[in-house]
Amino acid sequence: MITNDAGSILEEVTEAYKLQINEYFEKNRDNMTARNVLAQRKVGANVEIDVVMKYDRRGPGAQIVAKGGSPDKTGVTGTPTYFPLYQIAAGFSVNAKDMKIDGKIKNRNLEVAMGDIKRAEDNLAINGNSTYNITGIVGAARANTNGKIAASGGTYNNAGAWSGETGTDIYSDIKLAIDLMDDRYEPAFILGNKITTGKLDRMSSERIPYYMEIASLFGKSNPKDKSFIWTSAYVPTGYAYVVAKDMEAGEWVVSENPRVVPYAVAPGENYPFEILSWATPEIHCNEAFVEIAIT
């Protein structure tokens, strides 16, 4: 039972929020773009900058040598890349009266804040952030040195707009995109917004849904398996992205999962709360991501 004591109210509500955050994660885990499309890695809560070492081989490798001969030496050179972890936060206040009598108001505030955190994470993973020089999936795909698939006038162009049967060849477009990926990676997802991924449910000229035609390109033995299609509202309109899920390609790195931070009562008997997380996308290979213009 919540008492009228301010400290007791704050403590009880904070504990309830902690449980609700865990419940939110369990309920929405499979719908989190940042934490599913990219490989996820957890680092310590004390990590502010994640250091990733890239190793390049030097020397000739294995050689054929004559009896008694000695091969030239081979080794590796390590180059560090530094990725700062960023705070993703949302805040709200709850009036003391509501904390005492209405659990739904408290719960709804937290649900909204957690939804904001999820959306911010997803947007960051997909689009990055130019202010903080963070590269996301879109930026990586557009920087892919192997190229991208344009609507027209590019080095590689799509076979036609994904608008209908005539002139549409989604299979060829995606196969070309996969060919533009680094050979070390396999395609895991086709990423697009609702309008884009909805086009994959349309019928080809053979009256077969496009997603069934392309499923094998993503390693699916069952053509009805649609798990390789990922939809997010944050993908730019008119584009689809072929994405590799591999720790050497790109990661969603988490230092701290969302947690609640309560503050002392403010004027008006309002209790401020913040929901904070620490995470960042880390793109290690632009060539693991390919952009397809679908117009």
Please determine, for residue 189, whether its predicted confidence score (pLDDT) is greater than 70.
Answer: yes
State the Rg of the chain over Cα.
24
Please determine, for residue 46, whether its predicted confidence score (pLDDT) is greater than 90.
Answer: yes
Q: DSSP 3-state assignment of 81?
A: strand
196 and 42 in contact (C-beta within 8 Å)?
no
* Residue 2: per-residue pLDDT: 45
Supply 286's token pair.
Answer: 């632009």
> What residues pair up with 242 in beta bridges, in sequence order?
190, 290
CA distances from 107 to 16, 92, 140, 259 (A): 9, 12, 38, 15
- Tokens 């709804």 identify what position? 108
Q: DSSP 3-state assignment of 86?
A: strand
Q: Can you tell me the mean pLDDT for 107-113? A: 91
Residues 6+ apart with CB under 8 A from 53: 78, 79, 80, 81
Locate all alpha helices (DSSP H) within 128-246, ordered by sequence.
137-142, 170-179, 194-198, 210-214
Q: What is the Cα–Cα distance from 202 to 214, expressed in whole angstroms?
A: 12
Q: Confidence band (pLDDT; 50, 70, 90) for 138? A: very high
125 and 137 in contact (C-beta within 8 Å)?
yes
- Could you read off the pLDDT of 148-161 as tens digits, one per residue? 999 999 999 999 99
Q: Confidence band (pLDDT; 50, 70, 90) for 75? A: low
* Residue 102: per-residue pLDDT: 62
- Tokens 């070492």 identify what position? 53
Element (H, E) at 35: helix 33-37
Q: What is the Cα–Cα distance from 244 to 252, expressed in whole angstroms?
A: 13
- Could you read off the pLDDT of 139-187 as tens digits, one per residue? 999 999 999 999 999 999 999 999 876 678 999 999 999 999 999 999 9
The closest of 52, 31, 28 to 41, measured between CA atoms, is 52
> What residues pair up with 90 in beta bridges, in sequence order?
275
Q: What is the Cα–Cα distance from 137 to 141, expressed in whole angstroms?
A: 6
- Could you read off the pLDDT of 239-272 as tens digits, one per residue? 999 999 999 999 999 999 999 999 988 999 899 9
* Residue 6: per-residue pLDDT: 59
Query: How confident is the prediction for the chain on average, in pLDDT?
Result: 91
- Look at the alpha carbons of 41, 43, 49, 54 in this order and tell me if their dihedral is positive or negative: negative
109 and 91 in contact (C-beta within 8 Å)?
no
Task: Give the number of other Cβ atoms within 10 Å of residue 187's Cβ.
Answer: 22
Element (H, E) at 252: strand 250-262
110 and 21 in contact (C-beta within 8 Å)?
yes
Q: What is the Cα–Cα distance from 60 to 115, expressed in whole angstroms?
A: 52
Q: What is the Cα–Cα distance from 142 to 140, expressed in whole angstroms?
A: 5
Share of the chain above pLDDT 70, in %: 92
Supply 89's token pair.
Answer: 């936060």
Q: Poorest-confidence range of 19-23, 66-70, 87-91, 125-129?
A: 66-70
Mind listing the domains of the chain with CATH numbers? 6-53+79-132+254-281 (3.30.2400.30), 137-248+287-293 (3.30.2320)
* Residue 90: per-residue pLDDT: 96
Please determine, for residue 111, whether its predicted confidence score (pLDDT) is greater than 50.
Answer: yes
* Residue 3: per-residue pLDDT: 47
78 or 195: which carries more pLDDT confidence?
195
Supply 141's token pair.
Answer: 């795909």
